[in-house]
Amino acid sequence: MEKYAAIILAAGKGTRMNEGRASEIPKVMYQLEDKPIIWYAVKSVEEAGINKIVLVVGYKKEMVQDFIGDKVEYAEQKEQLGTGHAVMVTQDVLEGRAENIIVFYGDCPLYRPETIKKLITKYEAKKPTIAMLSVISDDPTGYGRLIRHGEDVVGIIEHKDCTPEQLQIKEWNPGFYIFEAQWLWDNIDKLQTNNVQKEYYLTDLIAMAVKQNRKIIAVPVGEENEAIGINTPEQHKEAEEVLKKGR
């Protein structure tokens, strides 16, 4: 059994990248400099020492599979039912094959391997059920805020649900997690779709762990731009500029 495996969510259509229309290519296959976005995401966890990687593919999956090839495994998300559902479809591939599971989005290509290693080191030292990266920004508008009690994370509140006091919190959730694998598989099927989008949200696992009095920790990224997620042409351009500057 591997100590770690990584799940990279790469099933999206990239509608916002293409003026509201389904793109001819999956979002993660848009080029950044001379490589697709997904290449950078895979490379970041490989360079952090993770050997077992599962890509969750969906829209035009053959394009991703043809490019990345057999150095990773694949799980197909046939319907886009949310981030929690994307992790659910990997259970048959991964359960019993890794002790700890890293999960993040394939459209976030700029995480540094040393940042991932730092999170792993803290995870192994503190032995929480969940460890996550966080970002501290002057303007975290639109992002889910981390609620802490001392060092521990005790909640994530979406921007729209924040009180005026919570809106002052500068630390937010970019969606990069390490889960204790058995806890993840024991709880992933408890996710529900009681939300407007009728989707299974990965962030609901944080609330679930809090209710179970499980330990959750967060480690801020070294630089805010590591957590850029590419959903729009503007974010695509921003990520390209970061790469050109050598991060």
Residue 137 binned pLDDT confidence (cut-offs 50, 70, 90): very high
**CB neighbourhood size of 121 (10 A):** 12
- Domain residue ranges in the chain: 2-244
Could you tell me the maximum CA-CA distance found in the chain, to the nearest angstrom?
49
Using only C-alpha atoms, what is the Rg of the chain?
A: 17
State how far the Cα of 91 lies from the Cα of 110, in Å rounded to an integer. Answer: 26
Express as a percent the part of the chain with pLDDT over 90. 81
**Whether the predicted pLDDT of 51 surpasses 70:** yes
Tell me which fold the domain 2-244 belongs to.
Spore Coat Polysaccharide Biosynthesis Protein SpsA; Chain A (3.90.550)
Active site residues: 16
**Whether the predicted pLDDT of 113 surpasses 90:** yes
Helix (H) or strand (E) holding 172: strand 171-172
The type of residue at 39 is W
Q: DSSP 3-state assignment of 201?
A: coil
Paired with 35 in beta bridges are: 32
Average pLDDT over residues 103-118: 97
State how far the Cα of 171 lies from the Cα of 144, in Å rounded to an integer. Answer: 9
Q: Which of 11, 124, 5 is nearest to 57 (CA)?
A: 11
User: Model's pTM, two decimal places?
Assistant: 0.94
Average pLDDT over residues 46-62: 96
pLDDT digits (tens, 9 = 90+) for 199-219: 998 999 999 999 999 999 999
Q: What's the confidence (pLDDT) of residue 242? A: 93
